[in-house]
A and B are shown apart, each in its own frame.
Chain A
Amino acid sequence: MRQLKSFGAFWYDFVIGDDWRVAAVVVAGLALVAVLAHAARVNAWWALPVLVVAALVWSLHRATTRR
């Protein structure tokens, strides 16, 4: 069980890293872009870059104001 936990923790750290919110914003952003493209027929190419930069700024702000 301990080995399974450390295996899971390794992959979590490898893929998600220090701030899970960044991964959440990226996944939500891709979902939003997909919905806009397929359901609303909007070619929102600009949406993901904006969200990615916003996620970076948000994560950095959190990391530097918590201390």
Chain B
Amino acid sequence: MNALPLILTVFVACAVEAVEALTIVLAAGITREWKSTLQGMAAALVALAAITAAIGPAVGELPLTALRLVVGALLTVFGLQWLRKAVLRATGYKALHDEASAYLREVTAAREAAVQRKRGISDWYSFTLAFKGVLLEGLEVVFIVVTFGDNQKNIGAAVIGAAAAIIVVTVTGIAVRAPLTRVPENWMKFAVGVMLTSFGTFWGAEGAGVAWPGNDAALLVLIPVVALAAAACVAWLRSRKAAAAAPAKESEVVPS
């Protein structure tokens, strides 16, 4: 398969995670102390490198059929989680993930927390905030890179996609010195959910013993089918919400 879809999928997925990590790092660095924040970020990157070094080769050692079954199942579940949240947010059943308000929440909490020196770190709060934020978002990046890269036998392309996303988001974040609020995060999550679900379904079924009609070309049908199904869910929930709101509005205009 061409490496471009792999690079683009990993790029978009990792960009979403990088935007979320950047919001946390900026909140800690700007309101508290950059040194401890950067130490926390560095510690998280070391932890991520160790996790990648441990699971990356182990995943690569699995026979391809077993790998596709396990990774397919995980990616499908993961993708459906993303899609579910994106659809609920797009239809107003769940609040949109707003980087500006997430940033304000983190800033308020960071301003209120007391400065505490611990284990040679001058501001323990900044350190742990940056560490947790980067580790959690980074774990998702590692998961996507390892699973997509191993399955396509092209770890290099997956790493290029992830590195490009992290560099673009970091450079933009440094340039604007603010959380990236203009990123259409929910629609990016929707797109990533579609891609993860489609690839997961494809690999999972293959690992379970299915032969797809047209082999890899089946993905060109599967991806639009999943996207259309998710878009139909958005339309369905929107119309249901509008129908539920209509009687309430009607009752408001009924004269007493």
Give residues in A with beta carbon < 8 Å to B. 14-19, 22-23, 26-27, 30-31, 33-34, 37-38, 43-45, 47-49, 52-53, 55-57, 59-60, 63-64
Contacts and interface: CB of A to CB of B under 8 A. Distances in A.
A26 B73 contact: yes
B216 to A, nearest CB: 13
A18 B77 contact: no
B201 interface: yes
Contact of B78 (A15, A49, A55, A56): A15
B225 A19 contact: no
Contacts of A44: 210
A33 B88 contact: no
B230 A27 contact: no
28 contacts: A15-B78, A16-B77, A17-B78, A17-B81, A18-B81, A18-B84, A22-B77, A23-B77, A26-B77, A26-B80, A26-B204, A30-B207, A30-B208, A31-B208, A34-B208, A37-B208, A43-B210, A43-B211, A45-B205, A45-B210, A45-B218, A48-B204, A49-B222, A55-B80, A56-B229, A57-B233, A64-B88, A64-B91
Given A22-B80, A30-B72, A48 B237 contact: no
Nearest to A27: B73
A33 B85 CA distance: 27
Nearest to A41: B209
Given A30-B208, A34-B209, 13 more contacts: A14-B140, A15-B74, A16-B77, A22-B77, A22-B84, A30-B204, A37-B210, A48-B210, A53-B226, A56-B87, A57-B233, A60-B84, A64-B237
Given A22-B80, A52-B201, A45 B73 contact: no
B240 interface: yes
Contacts of A45: 205, 210-213, 218
Given A15-B74, A30-B69, A49-B226, A38 B209 contact: yes
Interface in B185-222: 197, 201, 204-205, 207-213, 218, 222
